[in-house]
Amino acid sequence: MSRNSMGTKITKNETTKAASATRTEKIARINVAMSAMLTRETSGCSPKTAFSEPVLSPCVIWPRNPTSAQTADRIPLRKGLSVKLSLLDIALWALDPMLRLVLVLVLTLKIRWRVVPWFATWIAYGLLYTLSCFLAYRLGSKENYRVVYWIGALGDFLLQIAVVAEIARSALKRDGRWVEGAKKTLIPFLTLGPTFAVVLTIWITPAASNVLDGLAARASLFSTVLVCFLFVAVIRAMQKLGLDWRSYIARESLGLTVWTLSAFAIDTLHAYWRTTEHFGLLENMRNSVYQGVLLFWCIAFWLPEPEAPTLPSNLEEDYRRLTQQ
């Protein structure tokens, strides 16, 4: 037996019961804390993985999948719970839809969408995708959010391929014919790109919590590398063939090149560190680069395109005769 401070006798059985109750209470608190943490982590922009954001698509700046250090301070926007956001998080969230909307207005009011129809479609789709993900996050369940996120990501990826094809068609074709030497320049990149993407996704191990998220992360990295190679191939062909870099197609390509290369570098860092500790920092870097590209596009498509130099009549007739042969 033992005595407490009041001198009351406490039996060994009572002491055991008290200790058991204390352990039960601690376990209950731990379970509640883990449940809340899982709720916060799985309600982020993408499934819990180090680089599961689809390529070229920083569509939802916030909510993001938080880092382990940030998890305790971030609570989902549901059931009236408060959220602790940094000024950078708020700025990135506000800037993304605003810049997308401004770019859509520029492409529409200046009638630039006729020059780059697939690019304009991709930007408008990205704006709707951002709003859809945010509404699904605020109003729907975790399962609904995942469905909206991944269906939208698939559409976004297909539109990216359409944008690449649009750039290639506009820059490397004249009067419906390929510019001489264009195919020879593209073939090495188009052969090496898929091979390198497959090898890289097999070799790198993502920091994912389960097999499904790991596969999603590998698919994201594969698409990043593939589209990056496609853009590099087109840009290299334009440079080698001496095509005009001041056109709207060239301005579009320049922004996309900066974005794809930065996305590839950030995804590679995610895979190299294999941890979520740097997730927030890297994703803020990714989103900052993308928003800088959006701002560049707003200015580039607002400004007029330089007029193409006109050929003398005799040279123009020779050019038409050569292209028709």
The Cα–Cα gap between 110 and 70 comes to 43
Q: How many residues does the chain have?
A: 325
Residue 62's contacts (CB-CB under 8 Å, 6 or more residues apart) are 45, 85, 89, 90, 92, 93
Mapping DSSP to helix (H, G, I), strand (E, B) and coil, where does residue 57 land? Answer: coil
pLDDT, tens digit (0-9, with 9 covering 90-100), for 268-307: 777 666 655 677 777 788 888 999 999 999 999 999 877 6
Place of tokens 């050019």: 319
Nearest to 190 by CA among 179, 182, 200: 182
* Strands in the chain per DSSP E: 2-3, 9-10, 173-174, 177-178
pLDDT, tens digit (0-9, with 9 covering 90-100), for 84-110: 557 777 777 778 889 999 999 999 999
Residue 312's contacts (CB-CB under 8 Å, 6 or more residues apart) are none
DSSP 217-231: HHHHHHHHHHHHHHH
Identity of the amino acid at 119:
F
Mapping DSSP to helix (H, G, I), strand (E, B) and coil, where does residue 209 land? Answer: coil
pLDDT, tens digit (0-9, with 9 covering 90-100), for 24-82: 554 444 444 444 333 333 333 443 333 333 333 333 333 333 333 333 333 333 343 33
Residue 8's contacts (CB-CB under 8 Å, 6 or more residues apart) are none
